[in-house]
Chain A
């Protein structure tokens, strides 16, 4: 069975992609080396460096998992609007094994004997101490180093398998145009999205939530998920704009597609606010010490300004900013909001982690700047490296015609 939609040519962006990935690799290595150097100068057993490394690392996790969710949901719903940008999401998702390699350094904070007075360098359940010692020791059955490492390996293996399956089939369709692949992927994506939902939730519990092992929130996984989805739509917007500037995807990603990416970005900004408020609301109402401690740490003078930023900077301002259709159909404005939402996503993750390790106030310095720059460089490398070998357009997707004909009313 072959497809009739064979009239679109492949889009080979290998020149742009290899240049971007080389620059990304350079920025990544230099950035992380500088962060390591700056961090080791702080005489805190690299605690500050590891904290910023965790946040920047998890930013890449939310990016790649956003890519995975995007690919899965488009297949499940049989979405037509997204076909021309889906390949880029597949590349973003395809970066997941590389991101998995970046998790290997976590063995140092996990098994190091430094930072015992803080309970460990990153996760204070490594050496339970302080007023909640008994409570945390009760969680040792789940929060112990061996099981933790095992779970991380499990997440990245299962994510790599899913990413590989969908990327491989999509690339194979470039060659044979077989519509049966689209049908098969739709069936598999339904199972995979359940695996995705559980694994991203537990990855959020493990890596981020357990930086305060005494605290718990069942909605936390959904919160992380909201950030993933905002990020992927912002990333696809920026990546498409970048590639179009370099003369690719001509007429393939139109104002209609940008409009839809903008809509989804705004919709999930509202979703994020809904989830963030749901979590806050219940804890505020019940007013139970073990639940409110986490928020108390964030509303005092030390971190309060960042929490206010979360309310206005992460919801109110972008909501009003992206609400109008004219903004979503304007390249420059949409580009601004996409960069803005990615910045806010990084700040959000920082807000989730840093107050747990530094309740006395933000340690923000060049360490964070270098770590984030380096990680983003490596992300660009890992994503565009794939575009040097393959078309950046799923050009023989059977839904291609309808994707290009689609218009917003």
Chain B
């Protein structure tokens, strides 16, 4: 019997026909743990060895479908469920827009599955194939066809040699790999250790800079994105004849989504009727409108005027702390000066701006501006204890 460390036996043949005939004999003898190695693909060898059709396509199919559905789920979750974001006016969940990603995910999952499953099915990666220890195995890249039977085959024994002999083997060699065969080489272990330690450096550097302060100005990796050369609001420009960088809309333009509001009460868009400020809101006062006004006030007004409207917003406090000479304190909205203003005047101020405060017509839709007026008036009364 063989010693336990014997990997198996290899037999050499010198032609395609010989190896196919030998493969037929070995298969018929009932061996299961064996393989053929040839210098080039040999037609008919698969049949002679009775190699089964691979299961790889099924893995690829299942993973391809998973990728497709996963891609769909990803987009549904991110864009239609968790954080609804309208793009190009399409519904948040619109299938045509999602198909490219679904397609790519199908391909990605299929390709990765095919690639890595192929490795796993072929027992890769492997440090070293024991057959490389056989001296005659090198000829397989030249002009020899090699058939190898492994010792772990239940039929492996003295009879194996005889079988291969009768199959017409030109030469045979027992493969006896050394004790440490198949283990990771110790040199490689050392180098991998070095690489992994180096890989830890970037996260350590990132972590250290996250929790430390620096007086250096920040590094601009992409300066032209951080400070773009775009025109600011109301900035002058020599490009256009009228010297303005902002383009006025064509006369008669109105926003499409406000179509239905054209029949609104007079002064809805201007806050004025016949040159006089509106003294009452031109919109229906509801609890929803009040809530909306509170929310919008917090978003657009509170940063300067303060959440309570006392002119002490975060921006203002910051500017004072930095002692900015040009900073004009935002108005306290609870002074009599403001309180006497009719709703139409507050609306107009919001729309067109006043002193250093810019107009907010562009950011805040008309209906929301009235909601803010409503909320502000409620705020003023609450503050005065009314």
- B59, CB-defined interface residue at 8 Å: no
Q: In this complex, what residue of A is CB-closest to B61? A: A323
A285: contacting residue among B43, B61, B97, CB under 8 A: B97
Which 8 interchain pairs have the tightest Cβ spacing?
A284-B96, A281-B96, A407-B43, A285-B88, A277-B99, A405-B43, A285-B97, A281-B99
Contacts A/B (CB < 8 Å), 12 sampled = A277-B99, A280-B96, A281-B96, A281-B100, A285-B90, A285-B96, A287-B88, A287-B89, A323-B61, A324-B57, A405-B43, A407-B43
Contacts of B46 in A (CB 8 A): 409
The CA of A373 and the CA of B385, in the complex, are separated in Å by 90
Contacts of A281 in B (CB 8 A): 96, 99-100
Within residues 62 to 86 of chain B, which ones have a CB less than 8 A from any CB in chain A? none
Smallest Cβ distance from A241 to chain B, in angstroms?
24
Interface code A274-297, partner B: CB below 8 Å = 1, 0 otherwise? 000100110011010000000000
Nearest to B99 among chain A residues (CB) is: A277
- Please report whether the interface of chain B is mostly helix, strand, loop or mixed according to DSSP: helix
Q: Which residues of A contact B43 (CB under 8 A)?
A: 405, 407
A407 to B47 alpha-carbon distance, docked (Å): 12
Q: State in angstroms the CA–CA spacing of A325 and B100 once bound together.
A: 26
A405, B16: Cα distance in complex, Å: 15
Question: How many A residues are at the interface, by size bracket?
Answer: 10 to 19
A256 CB → nearest B CB, Å: 11
Encoded as 1 (CB less than 8 Å from any A CB) or 0, chain B from 18 to 49 comes to 00000000000000000000000001001000
Contacts A277-B96, A281-B100, A405-B43 supplied; 9 other A-B pairs, CB < 8 Å: A280-B96, A281-B99, A285-B97, A287-B88, A287-B89, A323-B61, A324-B57, A325-B57, A409-B46
Interface string of B126-143 (1 = CB under 8 A from A): 000000000000000000
Q: How far is the CB of A80 from chain B (nearest CB, A)?
A: 14
Q: Which residues of A contact B57 (CB under 8 A)?
A: 324-325
Considering the chains assembled together, what is the distance between the CA atoms of A86 and B88 in angstroms? 49
Smallest Cβ-Cβ distance to B88: which chain A residue: A285
The docked-state distance in angstroms from the alpha carbon of A284 to that of B43 is: 50
Kindly report which residue of chain A lies nearest to residue B57, judged by CB atoms.
A325
Residue of B nearest to A320 (CB): B61
Tell me the complex Cα distance, A405–B46, Å: 15
Taken together as a complex, chains A and B put the C-alpha atoms of A281 and B103 apart, in Å, by 13
Chain A residue nearest to B97 in the complex (CB): A285
> Which residue on chain B has the smallest CB distance to residue A278?
B100
**Measured CA separation A324–B57 after assembly (Å):** 9
Cβ–Cβ < 8 Å partners of B100 in chain A: 281
B327 to chain A, nearest CB (A): 45
- Bound together, the chains give a CA A325 to CA B54 distance in angstroms of 12
Interface centre among B90, B96, B97 (most CB of A within 10 A): B96
CB neighbors of B among A297-347 (8 A) = 323-325
Q: Write the nearest CB–CB distance from B271 to chain A, whole angstroms.
A: 35
User: In the complex, what residue of chain A is closest to B46 when comparing beta carbons?
Assistant: A409
Q: How far, in angstroms, from A131 to B268 measured CA to CA in the complex?
A: 38
Residue numbers in B under 8 Å from A287 (CB-CB): 88-89
- A345 CA to B43 CA, complexed, in Å: 37
CB B133 to nearest CB in A, in angstroms, measures 30
In the bound complex, CA of A407 to CA of B61 (Å): 23
Nearest A residue to B43 via CB reads: A407
- A323 and B62 CA atoms in complex are apart in Å by 13
Determine the chain A residues whose CB is within 8 A of the CB of B61 once the complex forms: 323
Q: How far is the CB of B257 from chain A (nearest CB, A)?
A: 16
Residues in B neighbouring A285, C-beta threshold 8 A: 88, 90, 96-97
Q: Measured between C-beta atoms, what is the minimum distance from A286 to chain B in Å?
A: 9
A284 to chain B: which residues have CB within 8 Å? Answer: 96
Distance (whole angstroms) from the CB of B351 to the closest CB of chain A: 31
- How far, in Å, is A283 (CB) from chain B's closest CB? 10
B90 / chain A contacts, CB cutoff of 8 Å? 285
Q: Which residues of B contact A324 (CB under 8 A)?
A: 57
Chain B residues numbered 209-265 whose CB sits less than 8 Å from any CB in chain A = none
Closest to B41 in A: A409
B92-104 interface code vs A (CB 8 A; 1 in, 0 out): 0000110110000
